[in-house]
Amino acid sequence: MGRLEGKRAIVLGAAGAGNMGQVIARRFHDEGADVLVAGRKEEELQRFAGELGGHYALCDLNKEDEIQALAATAKDKMGGVDIAVNATGLGFLKPFMENTREELEMMSALQFVGPFQFYQAMIGAMAENDPAGGSIIQISSATATIMLNDHAAYMGTKAGSDHVIRCVAHEFGDQGIRANSISPGLTRTPMTAGVDQVPGLVESFEARYPLGRIGTSEDIAAAAVFLASDECFMTGENLQVNGGLCLRGNPTRKDQELMMGAVAAASS
């Protein structure tokens, strides 16, 4: 019997082949959950849901009506929601002084307003459970805690959502609802597929990780299973699932330049 046997899970942000959302959804399925995957790409969602024997729904996090419809779809297809994961995000990088109002509003909509409304919809759905309760999981980032150049809009909006998660935990714990964040560091996903092509980048990060390697989506999925399971007596927390990166901080540009030089010297 799996750790999530009988649970009903939504994973939003699972429309990219092999992305973190899909890895989490697959692990939930393997642990016995009935899974509904959601996002903006219907063909991939349909394919992946078929692979899992689960369900799918289209949902744009920028559209409140689609977020509300997602909760209704979960009730129709699975009878309710016990686990809700927001694995959406946009790796937006730009020097601080070059961020425009339009870009800041875009990042706020995607990584603060949208998640806020997702939590509202999921809390409403979980309140209908008998007994009421469930687990909300936000995929955040180590950069919401430690510094990295050119990430201010990304970091700020992720940090804002982390604090909202704490508010959810505080206000709805008496309804049996837990809410937690997971913060990966640099993680091998389709979104970061090009990092290996940047000389010295991976090596400069690995030097900062006490555990000596960058993360994988499987690392994050394992943490998500714990947070989603009845074993979890934790709420309002941010799990730093990043190999100890936050003990040392992200590499600086100088670190990367030095590592690039070392890599070039070793290969010459």
Q: 222-232 pLDDT, tens per residue?
A: 999 999 999 99
Dihedrals φ, ψ of 179, to 5°? -145, 125
In the predicted structure, residue 120 carries a pLDDT above the cut 90 = yes
Domain assignment of residue 36, yes or no: yes
Determine, yes or no, domain membership for 256: no
**CATH for 235:** 3.40.50.720
Do the domain assignments include residue 87? yes
Mean pLDDT of 67-76: 97
Residue 2 lies inside a defined structural domain of this protein: no
Is the pTM higher than 0.85?
yes
Confidence at residue 268, expressed as pLDDT on a 0 to 100 scale: 39
Q: List Cα–Cα distances, 226 to 24, 221, 229, 236, in angstroms.
A: 12, 9, 5, 14
Q: CA separation (Å) from 112 to 25, 52, 147, 160? A: 22, 30, 19, 7
Burial class (CB in 10 A: 0-12, 13-18, 19+), 186: buried
Q: How far apart are CA 161 and CA 101, in angstroms?
A: 19
At residue 267 the predicted structure's pLDDT band, cuts being 50, 70 and 90, is very low
Cα separation, 188 vs 237, whole angstroms: 24
Query: Is residue 142 very low, low, confident or very high in pLDDT (cuts 50, 70, 90)?
Result: very high
Report the domain count for the chain. 1
Q: Is 154 a catalytic residue?
A: yes
- Per the domain annotation, does 242 fall within a domain? yes
DSSP 30-64: HTT-EEEEEES-HHHHHHHHHHHT-EEEE--TT-H
- Which residue range(s) make up the domain with 163? 8-196+212-248
What are 182's strand-pairing partners? 139, 239
Residues 6+ apart with CB under 8 A from 50: none
Phi/psi for 45 (5° steps) reads: -60, -45
In a domain, 99, yes or no: yes
Residue 219 lies in a domain: yes
